[in-house]
Amino acid sequence: MSVTVIVPTYNERENVAELVRRTARAVPGAEILFVDDSSDGTADEVRRVAAGAACPVRVVHRDKPTGGLGGAVIEGLRAASHDTCVVMDGDLQHPPERIPDIVAALAAGDGEIVAASRYVGGGSATGLADATRRLVSRASTAVTRAMFPVRLRRVTDPMTGFFGVDRRLLDLDRLRPRGFKILLEIIVRTDLAVAEVPFTFGDRFAGASKASVRQGARFLHQLALLRFGKMGAFALIGALGAVANVAIVWALTGLGAGYVWAAIIAAETTIVANFLLAERFVFHDLRGQARAFWRRFATSFGFNNAEAAVRIPVMALMVETWGIASPVATAITLAVAFVIRFTFHSLVVYAPRTEAAERAATRA
């Protein structure tokens, strides 16, 4: 088959030989391209297996991975020998035996993207570790479809990592991979028609699952950026900070602290935390052209404290004059401050350096 099977891997050494064996048997003549971010010798194992494989096997090892699994898939699409590409995980929970069904559906024109679905008729998610994982999978799928009701109205499993596409239909430079849900990124950022084929999500062949709370946070970040852009991601971080702020005020006042002092402590804690999260997840692409880290931090910290110096007296007025509970007053004032904070950070904190600043940085 004139198809490249792209397999992004992270510490999947024990699965390589079996994956190559089953894939070569299922799709004779297909190229298998591993894009590897591992530290366990997975790339060396791919090279060893490739020497005796029944089909072409290559590996691209990324010393400095960018974009997570999604970034690996984009790199695989660029490096593939064939235009018809099928993406699958390296743990064999995506059965290679279903690749011919994906390729056939692409060839028949059933869809410009063909996704293997756990939730379409005939599919199954039995390979998810337990009832909790299945519940989380169903819930995250429902939330995702609710956020993109038009684009995903006929897609039952936008979270699957098992799909096929003709790469010529994709503008790879337009995609912004930020995690492991690259199919969602492709569907939302393109107008390509999606078809689905069923598959049974199997048990992991070997090794440990990469699912974690951190991956869940990255998914929420990716979802916010896709739906709302930077402002959405900033809002998500702000919402987390607001919850933490209210919780700190509630806890400290419950311990007998005055609500003003509680609000000051909560504000300082969340100001620092929110800046670090925004650095990492919202404005990461602007840091290269912006001022140095400590300048950004000082500017952000100073502005947020000035904002807090205005917000906290307003909150005190709401509590003392209007009788609003201090946690509620805190939440209201934080919501009002959100738009001002986002605008300031976008236009000031992460503004590109001037030519003079660029020359000074170069001399330094």
Residue 16 has pLDDT above 90, yes or no: yes
Mean pLDDT, rounded, for 229-255: 84
Q: Give the Cα separation of 14 and 149 in Å (integer).
A: 39
Look at residues 78, 84, 77, 72 and name the one whose alpha carbon lies nearest to residue 27.
84
Average the pLDDT over 29-34 and give the result. 95
Contact 26, 97 (CB under 8 A): yes
CB under 8 Å to 154, separation ≥6 — which residues? 194
Q: Where exactly are the structural domains of the chain?
A: 4-208, 229-363
What per-residue confidence (pLDDT) applies to 61?
Answer: 92
Rounded CA separation 185/141 (Å): 14
In the chain, % of residues over pLDDT 70: 83
Using pLDDT thresholds of 50, 70 and 90, give the confidence band for residue 47.
Answer: very high
Residue 129 has pLDDT above 60, yes or no: no
**Strands laid side by side in the 113-117 sheet:** 57-61, 31-36, 4-9, 84-87, 163-166, 113-117, 194-198
283-329 tens-digit pLDDT: 877 788 888 999 999 999 999 888 878 887 888 888 888 888 888 88
Of 12, 70, 73, 19, nearest in space to 44 by CA: 12
Distance CA 1, CA 22 (A): 15
163-166/113-117 β-pairing: antiparallel
* Local confidence band at 168 (pLDDT 50, 70, 90 cut-offs): very high
326 alpha carbon, distance to own chain's centre: 35
Confidence (pLDDT) at 234: 80
* DSSP-derived secondary structure for 251-314: HHHHTT--HHHHHHHHHHHHHHHHHHHHHHHTSGGGTTTS--HHHHHHHHHHHHHHHHHHHHHH
User: Using the 8-state DSSP alphabet, how is residue 5 labeled?
Assistant: E
User: Which of 39-48, 59-68, 74-83, 119-128 bottoms out in mean pLDDT, i.e. has the lowest?
Assistant: 119-128
Q: How far apart are alpha carbons 295 and 349 in whole angstroms? A: 8
Residue 154 has pLDDT above 90, yes or no: no
Q: Quickly count: other Cβ atoms within 10 Å of residue 166's Cβ.
A: 15
pLDDT, greater one: 144 or 13: 13
How sure is the predictor about 336, in pLDDT bands with cuts at 50, 70 and 90? confident
Query: Considering the entire predicted model, what is its pTM?
Result: 0.61
- Does domain 4-208 bear CATH number 1.10.10.10? no
The arithmetic mean of pLDDT across residues 246-274, rounded, is 88
Of the listed ranges 128-132, 203-207, 209-213, the one predicted with least confidence: 209-213
